[in-house]
A and B are shown apart, each in its own frame.
Chain A
Amino acid sequence: MGVLEASFAGLVSVLSWPTFGFLMIGVAVGLIFGAIPGIGGITAFIILFPLLLTLGAEAAFALIIGLFAVTTTSDTVSSVLLGIPGTSGSQATILDGHAMAQKGEAARALGAAYVASAIGGVFGALVLAVGLQILRPLVLLLQSPEFFALGVWGITMVSVLSGRTPIKGIAMGVLGLMAATVGIEMTIGMERYTFGQMYLMDGIPAGLVALGLFGIPELMSLAIGRTSIARKAAPTDLLRNQVQGAMDVLKHWTLVFRCATVGIIVGFIPGLGTSVVDWIAYGHAMQTCPGARDTFGKGDVRGVIAPESANNAKDGGALIPTLAFGIPGSLSMVLLLSVLVSLGITPGRDMMTTHLNLTFTIIWSLALANIVGTGICLAATNVLARVVFLPYSWVIATIVPVVFLAAFSWNGTEGDLYTLVLFSALGYFMKLWGWPRPPFILGFVLGPILENRFFITLNLYGLGWLYRPYFLLIMAMIIGTLLYPVFEERRQKAKADRTVA
């Protein structure tokens, strides 16, 4: 199928029922969870994981993309009104957004943020569509040895970038790969690490691992940190003056596109992602906008537009390596990859050939979700403002039962609940003692694919695969990734020495 036909088929797929309905559900859930400080899209995604696997691929991805695309739109509400980031991607928005709210310009700040988010998100989707077509010939050129090496590179990259100690990240990636070996082995059908339990024959469900590693520990973190908001009355006059904010965005359109480009680049580079994209865009705006050094941090609308354009655009950038090579650019992409694999779709070549329709469904979903999400935010900003003020105990009392039931719905046995608690304990201690969790889940998700490609490679190429030029190139990149922290540390040390001197 040609690219244009696939693009049209993707659009028809998104607009058809029930895919469009699931896109809207994803947008609605994403907006609510994005607005609650300390929760975010990851928890929402994990709760919906069992539901996703009962849907067709198009509907499942419409829901996921709808959810992830708009959490960085509604997270602005708490940043502006409370000075608390809804998600890690809206930290920089606080500086000027909250300052504007204190000056009585909250609605203007929110209007600017929503419209900047929409433009950034749609621009990200456009770049994703073009970027994938540019990379398509390269992806089709690669064979199993290279895809095996790309998988290893992905885990290495996520491991190295997940914390200050790459060795911990790689060790967790290895543990994740090891956990994926539980169950029936694919080549000769041998049982591995089942310990006579029927429950483990099909392996440990990826959704339960994700629920345990991220879902429960994040809720526990909320309960421990008690980041709830005092019972202040939510403002009720936020609908007015939003138009002025929207006009500000149009006035500063070059800033929007520059920061959206920054967002796409940061999203494309694995490991950087949400927590830094807003700061980089904010820094860029401060350096390039006239008079910004005097006005930024004191309620300048450009200080809201810059991070909000970037944090929605980054999803488009992050999807490029995820879909083309199976290298996720952020934690949300790791989880998206796990759904892809759970639905029996292998990232890389398949996404450019047999599943090109699905690729375009994802791209269209991303664009539509940003537009619809912004429309809802503009119309229902008073409702979202109330969501922001929910106490933590309401969130825990609502979400914990849903998480347990979501886990139980996996196989419908008590084993699901034990697995959930086991991985929750693992996730909790990993978080507590600073062992990164993303490499573990990525290793777990990619484990069966990597092992399969490893055996195919050995059987087809013997030892000849070790001399293939593309394989050697990727290996060089893996070595570069491993050495990166060493050089970075030296650079930082030299910089610190210069400062002292």
Chain B
Amino acid sequence: MKVSILFPLTCIAVLLFLGWKAQPWSFSAKLFPLCLVGLGVFLLSVQVLRELWGGVASAESQGDQQSMDVGMMGDGDPSVLRWRGVEIWAWLLGFLLAILIIGMLISLPLFSFLYLKVHARERWWISILIPLLVGSFMYGLFEVVLHTPWVEGWLWELLLPGRLG
């Protein structure tokens, strides 16, 4: 099976599920979503059939990043690019997990520091200065100007119950 049809097939499955969920609603509430489900499933199915039988997927996926959409994923050895993709996803998901566990105030500069020191092997002063600047800017904008409440982190809620927030 071609990997490229996984995306439209997933979209079709999601749309069908959403169409099924809309069944019990009143006419006015479900009219618009059901029209969209019908149209979306039809278009995506046509594309799946084209890719299965027409062999258009690879050429199109190479050429679709034009006009209004921006950029490509980069040129070079596909296996290297794939690995870099996995790597950056790991950084992002690790960052999300860190925010949830140890809180936002620590995770934001920590991510910045680790990415510079561990991933990019930057010099110490750069690896400390940039997180400091990032942390100060974000504290100023989001805490002082926007009054954003920070995620405290599960760990601190567990260790210091009732002392946060």
What sequence of 0s and 1s flags, for each residue 59-86 of chain B, a beta carbon within 8 Å of any chain A beta carbon?
0111111111111111110000100110
Q: For residue B116, which residue of chain A has the nearest CB?
A: A397
Contact A38-B64, Cβ < 8 Å, known A174-B43, A412-B149: no
Contact A436 B40 (CB under 8 A): no
B57 to chain A, nearest CB (A): 8
Task: Enumerate chain B residues within 8 angstroms of A402, measured Cβ to Cβ.
Answer: 134, 137-138
B125 within 8 A of A: no
Chain B binder among A4-12, A236-244, A267-275, A374-382: A267-275
Contact A435-B148, Cβ < 8 Å, known A171-B40, A414-B100: no
Chain B binder among A59-67, A68-76, A159-167, A362-370: A159-167
Q: Which of A162, A394, A454 contacts B67 (CB 8 A)?
A: A162
Contact B68 A436 (CB under 8 A): yes
Which of B89, B109, B130 gathers most chain A CB within 10 Å?
Answer: B89
Contact A220 B85 (CB under 8 A): yes
A486 within 8 A of B: no
Chain B binder among A115-123, A186-194, A248-256: A186-194
B136 to chain A, nearest CB (A): 12
List residues 450-470 of chain A with CB under 8 A from any CB of chain B: 451, 454-455
B54 to chain A, nearest CB (A): 11
A403 to chain B, nearest CB (A): 10
Contact A177 B44 (CB under 8 A): no
A51 within 8 A of B: yes
Alpha-carbon distance A337/B122, docked complex (angstroms): 40
List residues 378-421 of chain A with CB under 8 A from any CB of chain B: 391, 393-394, 396-398, 400-402, 404-405, 408-409, 412, 414, 417, 421
B96 within 8 A of A: yes
Task: Enumerate chain B residues within 8 angstroms of A275, measured Cβ to Cβ.
Answer: 66-67
Contact B73 A167 (CB under 8 A): no
B21 within 8 A of A: yes
Chain B binder among A96-104, A308-316, A425-433: A425-433
List residues 78-125 of chain A with CB under 8 A from any CB of chain B: 88
Task: Enumerate chain A residues within 8 angstroms of B113, measured Cβ to Cβ.
Answer: 397
A195 to chain B, nearest CB (A): 9
Alpha-carbon distance A54/B145, docked complex (angstroms): 10
Task: Enumerate chain A residues within 8 angstroms of B13, measured Cβ to Cβ.
Answer: none
B102 within 8 A of A: no
Alpha-carbon distance A109/B71, docked complex (angstroms): 26
A153 within 8 A of B: no
Contact B32 A167 (CB under 8 A): no
Contact B111 A401 (CB under 8 A): yes
B142 within 8 A of A: yes
A226 within 8 A of B: yes
Which of A174, A393, A398 gathers most chain B CB within 10 Å?
Answer: A174
Contact B130 A397 (CB under 8 A): yes
A479 within 8 A of B: no
Contact B108 A429 (CB under 8 A): no
What sequence of 0s and 1s flags, for each residue 118-162 of chain A, a beta carbon within 8 Å of any chain B beta carbon?
000000000000000000000000000000000000000010011
List residues 18-45 of chain B with CB under 8 A from any CB of chain A: 18, 21-22, 25-26, 28-29, 32-33, 36-37, 39-40, 43-44
A438 within 8 A of B: yes
Task: Enumerate chain B residues within 8 angstroms of A226, measured Cβ to Cβ.
Answer: 74, 84
Contact B36 A181 (CB under 8 A): yes
Interface size class of A (residues with CB under 8 A): 35 or more
Task: Enumerate chain B residues within 8 angstroms of A334, measured Cβ to Cβ.
Answer: 68
A223 within 8 A of B: yes
Task: Enumerate chain B residues within 8 angstroms of A398, measured Cβ to Cβ.
Answer: 112, 130, 133-134
B35 to chain A, nearest CB (A): 9
A494 within 8 A of B: no
Contact A331-B69, Cβ < 8 Å, known A409-B148, A454-B32: yes
Task: Enumerate chain A residues within 8 angstroms of B43, measured Cβ to Cβ.
Answer: 167, 170-171, 174
A425 to chain B, nearest CB (A): 9
Q: Which of A276, A397, A436 contacts B134 (CB 8 A)?
A: A397
List residues 106-148 of chain B with CB under 8 A from any CB of chain A: 107-109, 111-113, 115-116, 119-120, 122, 126, 130-131, 133-134, 137-138, 141-142, 145-146, 148
Given contacts A164-B64, A175-B11, 18 further A-B contacts (CB under 8 A): A162-B64, A163-B65, A165-B47, A165-B64, A177-B36, A178-B18, A178-B37, A181-B32, A192-B33, A225-B72, A394-B130, A397-B134, A401-B107, A401-B138, A404-B99, A417-B100, A421-B93, A432-B85
Show 21 residue pairs from A and B whose CB-CB distance is below 8 angstroms, ordered by the A residue: A88-B71, A162-B64, A164-B64, A165-B47, A181-B36, A188-B28, A218-B71, A220-B85, A221-B74, A224-B73, A224-B81, A225-B74, A330-B68, A393-B120, A400-B111, A400-B115, A401-B111, A401-B138, A402-B134, A428-B89, A431-B73
Partner-B contacts on A (CB < 8 A): 38, 40, 42, 50-51, 54, 88, 158, 161-165, 167-168, 170-171, 174-175, 177-178, 181, 185, 187-188, 190, 192-193, 214, 216, 218, 220-221, 223-227, 271-273, 275-276, 330-331, 334, 391, 393-394, 396-398, 400-402, 404-405, 408-409, 412, 414, 417, 421, 424, 428-438, 451, 454-455
- Nearest 8 A-B pairs (CB), nearest first? A225-B74, A434-B61, A393-B120, A434-B64, A163-B64, A171-B43, A174-B40, A401-B108
